[in-house]
Structure 1
Amino acid sequence: MRVTLTSPPFQNVPCYSASEPWKATSQWPALWVVPPEEWHKLWVAAFRCQFRTTNRTRDRLHVTADERYELYLDGQWIGRGAQRGDKSQWFYESYAVDLKPGLHTLVACVWALGPLAPWAQVSIRPGFFCCPEKPELVAKVATGVAPWELLPLRDRTFRDMGPAAGTAIGSGPSETLDARVTSWGWERGVGEGWIVAGKGGGGYHGFQAHSTRPEHWLKPATLPPQLNRPWKRFRLFRTESDAIAAKAWLEFLKKGVAITIPAKSKVSLLIDLEDYLCAYPELKWSGGAGSKISLGWTEALRDPASDDKRHGNVTAESRFLGPSDEIIVDGGANRSWHPLWWRCGCYVQLEIETGAEALTLNGITFFETRYPLSVESRWQTPDAELERVLAISRRTLEMCLHETYVDCPYYEQLMYVGDTRLQCLLTYALTTDTRPPRNALALYDSSRVNPSGIVACAHPNNGGQLIPPFALWWVAMVYDLARWRGQPDFIRERLPGVRAVLDLFHQHVDADGVLRGLEGWNFFDWTFQPGGVPAGGEPGGRNAGLQAHWALVLGYVVELETYAGEPELAARYRRWQREAQQALMSTFWNEKRGLLADDAKHTSYSEQVQCLALLAGVFTAKQRARVWKGIETGSDLLRSSCYFAHYFFEASLAAGRSDLFFARLAPWRQGVQEGFRTTPETFGQTRSDCHAWSAHPLYHYLTGVVGIQPGGFGFETVTIAPQLGELKSASGELAHPLGTIRVKVWQTKGKLTAEIELPQGLRGVFRAGGKTKPLRAGKQKITALA
């Protein structure tokens, strides 16, 4: 059983707990085991260790692999890993085992996909590592110490689907399983062809002062096991199977009732999963020698004429297009297969062509996989369409949260900073579990070990890419965690990185106080062209969005340093902030337009710049009014994408303009009407149907419409300022470390009535109609002007 370590391993082992504690050592009592050097970079192998215990033995096994593994004990699957990390944070999983006296077999399926690996998969030197804690078990089980063997598994081959329309890119290859060459029973350690595993390097949990050689610096997994739950929702969208009735297929899908496909026949089954799903499919079969099985996934079906994606308006003629895995059947009994990595989408196509022998399908199970997010918050709105927008926002976050946050499950599966900041904010609003945000913040921090010294735009990443503005959003993420959850010790660990990033940016501030564009891709928002870079955003250029972003983040750091007890540093950044604000106004403010221009020559204007400047607090009251008028009436303003709409919503709700929030929700409402099950990368003919950077309406509903916000760092107080806008009522329950904050608010005849319940130990204020009223723990009812 997987266990999450809350303290270092080997705490109760005398040789470590006495003269030389574990934390003072640098090397584990185990080595990596590796395949032969002549193996190609792309391989799959089973590693086994057979050992005997004379007494009942309880211990913990610490396991990892490069690139990944699945672990079996005495033929039973017990877990997978390693949690996705990087070279300085190579995670290992820990398993509590209870071994009865007798012979045992530990087997790991390990793979390294080399050039075909997912973009987010980092590798140093492929291999496998396993280390128990008890010395008597180290000799019997530890890799590099005990007699480990390996068996090449040559039954899987891999296909890079490439960037063809409708297929996944960056998420890894599709598989072909040739069951005719499978070494069946390898997970039990049986079969022929096992060879002695080679010994690799040591397992290190510290840095060797005399060496800079790349090593796996082992750290305990920070996250619990991923969800592994059978999916129960299916609808037969289309069947092409004369010999088998639709009812039989449904019983096969929902109840696991076996179904036999006659010899020399073809079957095509299109399954609607009735929601977006990330899952490991497991297919079981018997017989059918020579049959071919294909299992494909897609986010949406396509119009047969235009090839456009279709969601709610699909027809029987709609076309399937997506990556697929294939199986060549050997004819044996009780066979099974699941892919090495999860698949995703809304539709699954199962195609079968049998040979001279009938094929029996014994069952198919889709094991939903994602981070086991416990959604503690609740919400309700009388607007059914808005309720659906909020529901798909939640589902999008769930589908984009795994071992890391991901931008999208179907394509890159990368943890981009700009996306992740919004995902973390929604996480804070839905749960008190901060493990995913902390994991993201720490990984980004370690990504600074690159030639630029700033945070990488997406990490972990086996390629590497720099979007300098995203480094500033990482600083904002540190601020967000401090504001929502406090955790001062963790924040102090991040502050050296925050300061380093700001120092590097400050080197690019010119004599006029303007931040010049850094080297790299200065992506801001996709509505800027070309490539999402605004006018003046090129390296060395001057852009108001970058300047407003700089001023905004400096304000965050002033508060962070004050919170951390560093008034001198706070004063330094306050000075930088004032200089940045002054330079923003003197360089980019156009008095005639009453707006900030994008560039120093005042050739273009955008909504994005105004929103960041509003949030940065650079305007006087008179200027603010003019800016809002310009945002509402400016026909030439470039508008925000569904990603940057987050900052438009933030600025609008901060100004009490919930009317603008509700008006701008129109594309999300349209998406619901079109049948989207998640929020997309862009509206219209989008590439990715499931993209968490557009899932923020749920965050804004809870924090802006219902109006529940932290009143200060650590959420030690609460501010409740509802803005119902066009709604007659709204309610929400927001997760808080002390309990649940409950708010129900409605408006009648110009009056706002709120029923509020705060958990014990929490106090705050209620704001509405220009008035502020104190809030105490417990239940209370407040009436104010709407």
Structure 2
Amino acid sequence: MKNYLFAIILIIGLNAVKAQNTTYINPALLKGEWPANWITCPGVPQRDYGVYHFRKVFSLDEKPAKFIIHVSADNRYRLFVNGHPVCSGPARGDLYNWYFETVDIAQFLQPGNNIVAALVWNMGVYAPVAQISNQTAFVLQGDGDKEEMINTNSNWKVVKDNSYTPCATDNGERLHTYMVIGPGDQVNAATYPWGWEQLNFDDKQWLPAKQVANPAVAGYGTDNRWTLVPRNIPLMEETMQRISKVRRASGIEVSNDFLSGSHPLTIPANTTVSILLDQTFNTVAYPELLVSMGKEATIKMTYAEALFDKQNQKGNRDDIEGKHILGNYDIFEPDGGNKRLFRPLWFRTWRYMQLDITTKDEPLVIEDLYGMHTGYPFKAVATFAGNDSSLQDIWKVGWRTALLCAGETYFDCPYYEQLQYEGDTRIQSLISLYVTGDDRLMRKALLDFYHSRVPEGLTQGRYPSNRLQVIPPFSLYWISMIYDYWMLRKDDSFLQQFLNPVRGILEWYEKNIDTSKKMLGPMKWWNFTDWNTAFANGVPDGAVDGNSSVITLQYAYTLEQAARFFAAYGKTNEAAHYTMLANELKTNTFRECFDKEKEEMANTPDKKTFSQHAGIMGVLTGAVPANQMKQVMQKVLTDTSLSQATFYYRFYLTRALKKAGMADLYYSQLKPWRDMLKKGLTTFAENPDPTRSDCHAWSSSPNYDFLATICGIMPASPGFSSVIIEPALGELTHVQGSMPHPDGKIIVALQRKGMNGIIAEITLPAKLTGKFVWNGKEVKLKSGKQSIVL
């Protein structure tokens, strides 16, 4: 919360510091303990909810050319230098891998006195499930001798901010769903220390900070509360985003003008009003509300992805008639001051925002209201277009979905959980690499799950997380993520650290094989596969009591990937064992579960239930013989008695279509995404309606498959050292696509020639070769631009 001028500085400052962000770290700080101290506020419960302000005034003879610092906190911080916002963090990890940010703050410094200040908060028992914590603390370490003057110690000052109270702590109960993103903020402006981050603020009443411990980096220390590691992803971006429309108002007439920032809106004294705003698309942002006057007024800001009707159904997301808002909220209580800026501690997700305002004896002036869009700074460089222009809508909405589900980790959904799950993250990572070429968040995700392992050898199903959840099939998807990364990037030193944990997961599964059936037997933990309506809590038949064809074949699928991965690093004996075991599982599962009369795979050997999932995995693994794949996949697509795959598992449906030589059907399988667009969704949902989340990353798979399936661009060998381009146009007559490659860009332009022919123009980066495949014919590809007519 700052004045209006600071709101403008915010936009400039955060963008400016991105250019200054540096990965340079004094090597001496990567060994042993730091000279700085972890500091905290004295006299407060260290693990309870609390918001704190830290300050340090220091003097410089001249403006430095560079001034590098390293900073972190528990739970989180927002750093200011001379009133300018510099960075936020830390990137979420765990106590063994507690990240610190490295930034050069020289651009914000001046000769003479300077102020470095930090807003630090601990959500305590209200913390998001994605937030791991020890206790309230803050640390700042200068990189070298000239910067050490601002190292955190007892010379820093601190105050507890009593203006904050957690609200919206019952989101899950009110929405009747699983919601674990943390509380809203209720802020009483009368007790907020306005101007605390400015140099001229009077901090005489503040306390000396309490020293907690010396910071230790990974591999050092004897009594660590946190083990520090360098941040391995860029800082999150922030850009101003105006709200588009006033959809309705009661108690006052409101036009769209006040949303422009140049037409303040006055709410008379002793008035109650409600204003529904429509961003027109789902977003993730920090709302910033600038107000004047309005002493003792109350402003409640409620955020929702969609409105609800009287039956609590969403219906068409564009419609508001007869609908109400229900969701996460913040409350701001103005003190009558001039241009007070409210910004919540954490970002919010919304398409709709409702302001419910009650004024007392003084009118309230809303000077401005906007969002600061935030997230991982992915930049789309891939392109896709075709003769069906509606595919552009799917591409655009899919990419927005992927962006909103990418922050300091990948999110399954930004509104309800903000948790990183392997099942979601595998798909998200492929989208990231195909659309942006930026692999840093995928690398962090692979490491996060590596750090999550439990004593049995499995990864946790989601991580970082302060609650234990083990989903054994998601451990398999983590191995698939490693395989994907291996195929798309040459990064041997990074990849080889995963050989042992991969081995441990596969051994856990091997110990669970039912030797009589030669399929997986009963398994512990939560064997989630898909949220389809026939699977109890997402778990297919046979997972709990034994002999699930779906999970047995997923294990076989993963064994084959692991065999190729292990063989590449000289582990030939293990690779041979994994191949042998995969073949045995596939053979026996097909024998036990394939119904010859139905030409369908059953969920278990008793053949009482059948699903698309069983058929998909049967084909994808090759358990179904090649000469039967097309018949089986035809049944998968047409037999509505099969329990159906949701948006998530349709990613694997597409993989199975490609395996069966039926990839041309992919284009016709886009109806679920077209239906979501018809319902006014601006991001893709978790499930078909009625759905919880309107923004769920696993439903963005078209942004991968438009390039990997329709354009047919796939790595043909590890490290993307060669490429195979095998288009599947379906009913399309022409498409164009491009995607990043480690050596440059792959560009394809495809035009049908008659019923069965094709004209292709393909450009490959220098040194990249491969092959083009069309209707069983192969043409070698070389680097550079080439034309093919078949």
Aligned to 1:575: 580
CA distance in 1, matches of 2:347, 2:240: 13
What CA distance in whole angstroms lies between the structure 2 residues aligned with 1:672 and 1:101? 56
Aligned to 1:194: 206
Write out aligned runs for 1:54-453 (5 A). Answer: 54-57=61-64, 58-98=66-106, 99-138=109-148, 140-144=149-153, 147-159=155-167, 160-166=169-175, 169-188=179-198, 190-191=202-203, 193-208=205-220, 211=222, 215-232=225-242, 234-240=244-250, 242=252, 245-246=254-255, 250-303=256-309, 305-448=310-453, 450-453=454-457
1:676 aligned residue (681, 688, 696): 681
Q: Tell me, in whole angstroms, the C-alpha distance in 2 between the residues paired with 1:158 and 1:295.
A: 14
SS in 2 for 1:694: helix
1:743 aligns to what SS in structure 2?
strand
User: Could you tell me how far 1:90 is from its partner in structure 2?
Assistant: 0.7
Give the deviation of 1:635 after TM superposition.
4.5
Deviations 1:347-374, CA, capped at 9 Å, x for gaps: 1112322221122222223100011111
Higher mean C-alpha deviation, range 49-58 or range 119-128? 49-58
Question: Hey, what's the Cα distance between the residues in 2 that align with 1:6 and 1:598?
Answer: 50
Equivalence for 2:476: 472
Which whole-Å deviations, capped at 9, do the CAs of 1:373-399 have from their partners, x for residues lacking one? 111100012223332122211110010
Deviation at residue 5 of structure 1 after TM alignment: 5.1
Give 1:738 shift: 1.6
CA distance in 1, matches of 2:323, 2:523: 47
Change in Cα spacing, 1:546 to 1:506, as seen in structure 2 (3 Å) is same
Write the letter of the residue equivalent to 1:534: P
Task: Report the Cα offset of residue 223 of structure 1.
Answer: 1.3
Contact 2:519-2:589 at 8 Å conserved across structures: yes
Say which of 501, 506, 511 aligns to 2:515.
511
Identify unmatched segments of 5+ residues in structure 1: 17-21
Q: Secondary structure at the match of 2:513?
A: coil
Match of residue 9 from structure 2: none
* Equivalent pair of 2:633/2:657 in contact (CA under 8 Å): no
* Cα offset, 1:74, TM superposition: 1.8
Secondary structure (helix, strand or coil) at the match of 2:291 reads: strand
- Distance apart, 1:457 and its partner CA: 0.3
Moved more, 485-494 or 425-434: 485-494
For 1:667 and 1:173, the matched residues in 2 are separated by: 34
Name the Cα RMSD after superposition: 2.1
Q: Given the superposition, is the C-alpha separation of residues 382 and 625 from structure 1 closer, same or farther in structure 2, using an over 3 Å criterion?
A: closer
- For 1:313 and 1:366, locate their aligned partners in 2 and report how far apart those are by CA, in whole Å: 20
Larger displacement relative to structure 2 (767-776 or 624-633): 624-633
CA distance in 1, matches of 2:460, 2:588: 27
* Structure-1 residue corresponding to 2:632: 627
Among candidates 733, 740, 748, match of residue 745 of structure 2:
740
What is the deviation of 1:115? 1.1
Partner of 2:11: none
1:27 aligned residue (19, 22, 33): 33
Matches within 5 A, 1:483-502: 483-502=487-506
Distance, in Å, in 2 between the alignment partners of 1:643 and 1:629 is: 20
2: CA distance between counterparts of 1:321 and 1:266?
Answer: 19
Aligned-pair distance for 1:82? Answer: 0.8
Offset from partner CA, 1:185-239 (integer Å, 9 cap, x none): 2222534531121111221113358x5x563111111111111000135122123
- Equivalent position amino acid for 2:612 in 1: E
Q: CA deviation at 1:419?
A: 0.7
Instruction: Say which SS state the counterpart of residue 85 (structure 2) adopts.
Output: strand
Aligned counterpart, 2:8: none
Alpha-carbon distance between aligned partners in 2 of 1:593 and 1:316, rounded to the nearest angstrom: 48
User: Is the contact between residue 304 and residue 325 of structure 2 (CA under 8 Å) also seen in structure 1?
Assistant: yes
* Further displaced range: 343-352 or 33-42: 33-42
How far, CA to CA, are the matches of 2:716 and 2:243 in structure 1?
42
Displacement of 1:426 in angstroms is 1.1
- How do 1:641-656 residues align onto structure 2 when only pairs under 5 Å count? 641-656=646-661
TM-score calculated relative to the size of structure 2: 0.93
> What secondary structure is seen at the aligned counterpart in 2 of 1:753?
strand
Bigger drift between 48-57 and 82-91 goes to 48-57
Deviation, structure 1 residue 757? 1.7
SS where residue 331 of structure 1 aligns? Answer: coil
| Corresponding residue for residue 51 of structure 2 | 44
The answer to whether the 8 A contact 1:27-1:206 is kept is no
**Counterpart Cα distance in 2 of 1:576 and 1:204:** 44
Aligned-partner residue type, residue 221 of structure 1: R
**In the TM superposition, what is the alpha-carbon distance from 1:85 to its structure 2 partner?**
1.0
Deviates most, 750-759 or 763-772: 750-759
Secondary structure of 1:422's match? helix
SS of the residue aligned with 2:592? helix
- Cα distance 1:259–1:70, how it changes in 2: closer, same or farther (>3 A)? same
**How much does 1:568 deviate?**
3.2
Describe the SS at the equivalent of 1:27. coil
Match of 1:536 among 542, 546, 549: 542
Structure 2 distance, partners of 1:452, 1:361, is 56
Report how far residue 731 of structure 1 moved.
1.6
Q: Deviations over 1:634-690 (max 9, x none)?
A: 443222111101100111133232354233321211111111101101111211000
Say which SS state the counterpart of residue 214 (structure 2) adopts. Answer: strand
- SS of equivalent residue, structure 1 residue 310: coil
Structure 2 residues without counterparts, runs of 5 or longer: 1-16
Would the aligned equivalents of 1:185 and 1:191 in 2 still touch at CA under 8 Å?
no
Scaled by the length of structure 1, the TM-score of the pair is 0.93
Q: CA deviation at 1:313?
A: 4.7
Distance of 1:415 and 1:214 partners within structure 2:
26
In structure 2, distance between residues paired with 1:625 and 1:179: 66
Give 1:124 shift: 1.6
Conserved? CA contact 1:231–1:365, under 8 Å = yes
Equivalent residues of 2:460, 2:475 under 8 A apart: yes
1:369 counterpart SS class? strand
Matched, 1:53 2:57: no
Are the counterparts in 2 of residues 517 and 546 from structure 1 also a CA contact under 8 Å?
no
Quick one: distance in 1 between partners of 2:706 and 2:388?
12
Name the counterpart of 1:10: 26
Structure 1's consecutive aligned runs of 4 or more residues displaced over 6 angstroms after TM superposition are none
Identity %: 31
Counterpart amino acid of 1:323?
N
**What is the deviation of 1:266?**
3.0
- Please state if 1:695 is matched with 2:700: yes
Aligned equivalent of 1:19? none
Contact 1:183–1:191 (CA under 8 A) maintained in structure 2: no
Q: 2:460 aligns with which of 434, 456, 459?
A: 456
